Amino acid sequence: MLSDREILSTLEMLRNEHLDVRTVTLGVSLFDCAAQDVESFCRKAHRKILSLAERLVDTCNEVGEKYGIPVVNKRIAVSPIAVAAAPFDSREMVAVAHTLDQAAKEAGVDFIGGFSALVEKGFTTGDLSLIEAIPEALAQTERVCASINVASTRAGINMDAVYLMGQTIKEAAAKTSHADGIACAKLCVFANIPQDIPFMAGAYLGVGEPDAVINVGVSGPGVVKKAIDRARSTQPSLDLGQLADIIKRTAFKVTSVGELIGREVARRLDIPFGVVDLSLAPTPNVGDSVGEIFQSLGLRSIGVPGSTALLALLNDAVKKGGAFASSYVGGLSGAFIPVSEDLNIAQAAAEGFLSLEKLEAMTSVCSVGLDMVALPGDVSSETLAAIIADEMAIGVINKKTTATRLIPVPGKKAGEKAHFGGLLGEAVIMPAPKGDLSSGFIKLGGRIPAPTQSLIN
């Protein structure tokens, strides 16, 4: 028999604390769609995606209804297109992007990831075609997301790729200048990209993955915040060790829900279950914010001194609780701090509490990185590349994933607002360093060697 307290606290999490499954992402391998001509590739890819994804949305809704826990987003991640569609030129790559967009639309999903390349050690012709196609592909499509892995702990940082991405981001922004550079909101640059991320925009299906797989992203910053608030109001003397324990217990609950639902979706679709990604992923809604947790734990705002330490505690406690709840934890698994997608973080940036530099410091203890950061439109591609290089270095040296999603907003200056709409939210543009500050370094090119794995300070 369930206790009243168990039943009512579950109801409370659902009704008032935004407990949900943030995303169920279907991974689809496109390697068996390889073809000499782009038409055949697109035809096969379209058919394969839809044959697997046809029932995805309905199944997620049915399972969500059964448990009373909504699956907010249903998404698709495909094999890295730079590999699956390697023989094609950039014009043909844009055609592939259209196919993915169309397949996503027909499957009823809002995003499809995998317009991706892995270039940490060097480029193939497929990689170069894909990167060249990115601005056009992201400008012309609505649902396609792109990610480029430019660095890894074992390969170092491909600085030619870093510079190329700085230029690509500028171009993608220019092609969507009417919409504040929204193409860049669908483009991530990674170090140590995991093969099984269910969250956009970084989701793709890795080379070592099965033909099809269901990965689940759980969230719940609102649940964590409320648990902290409740505990502190009943026991004001709780210290950080005890509060970490409360976060851990909450992460356990959230993860158990994600795994239960993910496994049932996978079973109904007869597709293997992959991983649960334990990330605190916010949305631009009050009560669903990572930034609010900082205030619940006594900081005036995210970004003030103490933020890095607090985030380290939060991120670690989430992992500990989640890892106990599920044996198959993967993806990014950490707190996200996407500026525009979190009302509270966007507010902190607008009020000047959160700077680019502090964000960078914080990303050394959490997942992702400089995520959904709006910058002035006139920031140079060399400065963008240098910001990316710094972020990649944090990931490479610390043997973790880091990423950037930078949006130079065309025609707008620091302090103005950029609007991306929907889940992507809106944000005040942060000041970026001006002038020719880093181009000498960036233009040196080459590859920063992989770090030593001993001597670890």
Partner 1 sequence: MNSDKVVICVLGSDRPGIVASVSKVLYENRCNIEDVSQTILQSVFAGVFIAGIPEEISLETLHERLQERLAPLGLAALVRPVSPQPVYEPPPREPFVVITIGPDRVGLVAGITEVMARFGVNITNLRAAFRGGTDPHRNVMIYEVDIPLEIDQKAFKKALRDRAEELGLDLSLQHRDIFQAIHRI
- Binding positions for partner 1, rule: CB under 8 A: 1-2, 4, 6-11, 13-14, 66-69, 252-253, 256-257, 259-260
Nearer Cβ to partner 1 (234/453): 234
Nearer to partner 1, 2 or 455 (CB): 2
Q: Which is nearer to partner 1, 13 or 280 (CB)?
A: 13
Distances 454 to 158, 398, 450, 457 between C-alpha atoms, Å = 22, 12, 12, 9
Least distance to partner 1, CB of residue 5, Å: 9
Q: How far is the CB of 184 from partner 1 (least distance, A)?
A: 38
Closer to partner 1 by CB, 201 or 257: give it.
257
Given the complex with partner 1, which of 14 and 414 has the nearer CB atom?
Answer: 14
> Nearest approach, Cβ of 291 to partner 1 (angstroms)?
25
Residue whose entry in the numeric block shows the structure tokens 């996978």 = 266
> Which residue, 4 or 436, has its beta carbon nearer to partner 1?
4
Q: How far is the CB of 264 from partner 1 (least distance, A)?
A: 9
- Judged by beta carbon, residue 68 or residue 122, the one nearer partner 1 is 68
Nearer to partner 1, 191 or 260 (CB): 260
Looking at the Cβ atoms of 3 and 237, the one nearer to partner 1 is 3
- CA 79, distance to chain mean position in Å, is 17
